[in-house]
Amino acid sequence: MGTGQTDEKRALRKEALVRRDHLTEAQRIKKSGRIAELLFDHPWYQNAELLLVYASYLSEVSTEGIIRHALQTGKRVYCPVVTGKREMMFCEVSLSGLATMGKDSHGIPQPDGKTCAHYDYQPEKSLMLMPGCVFNDQGDRIGYGGGFYDSFLAKQPMRTIALFFDCQHTKAQSVGEPHDVRPDLILTESGFRKIKI
């Protein structure tokens, strides 16, 4: 891994987050609602019994409505808890537990890893919704740099959909690295993106 590629990823991440942060709250709510509607119509979501999903933070695509919908339609929902460097587990959340979730050292909402039920790997029943900073037409996803999702999915692969706003798109090619796990699908407010291989 060369420093040039690392520097490029860092720059692309910063630029995309600035664009995302410039969306107004009303724009984020509207766009997040549209993304949720499109997700609810997709067979992967409809057929999933277990949903692994990030608890949205700051200007990310909001997952609160998705989590509530999933729970209300009988799915079991799990949110990530960081357990170490590049390591995380997923813990079950309930409707009543959403309001009482704690926060990690960065202020990101997360369930209590000591008291909640942990995700039991069942890939045929599972769907993961991933956050991210940047995506391109080749299906590369740049996250926040911690490598948590890459590490988790390398050990427990399953169907994945990454949620982004259109403004997080980059025309840059081959921004991924060998250890980066590409999402199976990318979803924005404009719809599911066709990935150019």
Query: d(Cα 186, Cα 180) in Å, to the nearest integer?
Result: 15
pLDDT band at 167 (very low <50, low <70, confident <90, very high): very high
C-alpha closest to that of 145 among 131, 157, 156: 131
Contacts of 195 (CB under 8 A, 6+ apart): 137, 138, 139, 182, 185, 186
pLDDT the model gives residue 4: 46
Tokens (6 digits) for 41:
């119509």
The mean-pLDDT minimum among 8-17, 97-106, 130-139, 184-193 falls in: 97-106
pLDDT the model gives residue 3: 44
- Do 116 and 87 form a contact (C-beta atoms < 8 A)? no
Query: What percentage of the chain exceeds 90 in pLDDT?
Result: 71
The runs of H, that is alpha helices, within 41-103 are 43-47, 64-72, 95-98
**What values do phi and psi take at 186, rounded to 5?**
-120, 130
pLDDT the model gives residue 197: 52
* Mean pLDDT to the nearest integer, 7-24: 94
Given a cut of 90, whether residue 5 has pLDDT beyond it is no
pLDDT band at 196 (very low <50, low <70, confident <90, very high): low
List, for residues 89-102, the tens digit of each pLDDT value.
999 999 877 777 88
C-alpha closest to that of 13 among 117, 112, 131: 131
Q: What is the pTM of this model?
A: 0.92
Given a cut of 70, whether residue 1 has pLDDT beyond it is no
Q: How many CB atoms lie within 10 A of CB 154?
A: 12
From the number of C-beta atoms within 10 Å of its C-beta (0-12, 13-18, 19+), residue 129 rates as buried
Q: Is 142 helix (H, G, I), strand (E, B) or coil?
A: strand
pLDDT the model gives residue 114: 85
CATH of 3-191, one of 3.40.50.10420, 3.90.1490.10, 3.90.1310.10, 3.40.710.10: 3.40.50.10420
Given a cut of 50, whether residue 193 has pLDDT beyond it is yes
Provide the mean pLDDT of the chain: 91
pLDDT the model gives residue 157: 97
**Entry field: residues in the chain:** 197
Q: Is 74 helix (H, G, I), strand (E, B) or coil?
A: coil
Strand ranges (E), 48-137: 50-53, 76-84, 87-93, 102-103, 109-110, 126-130, 134-135
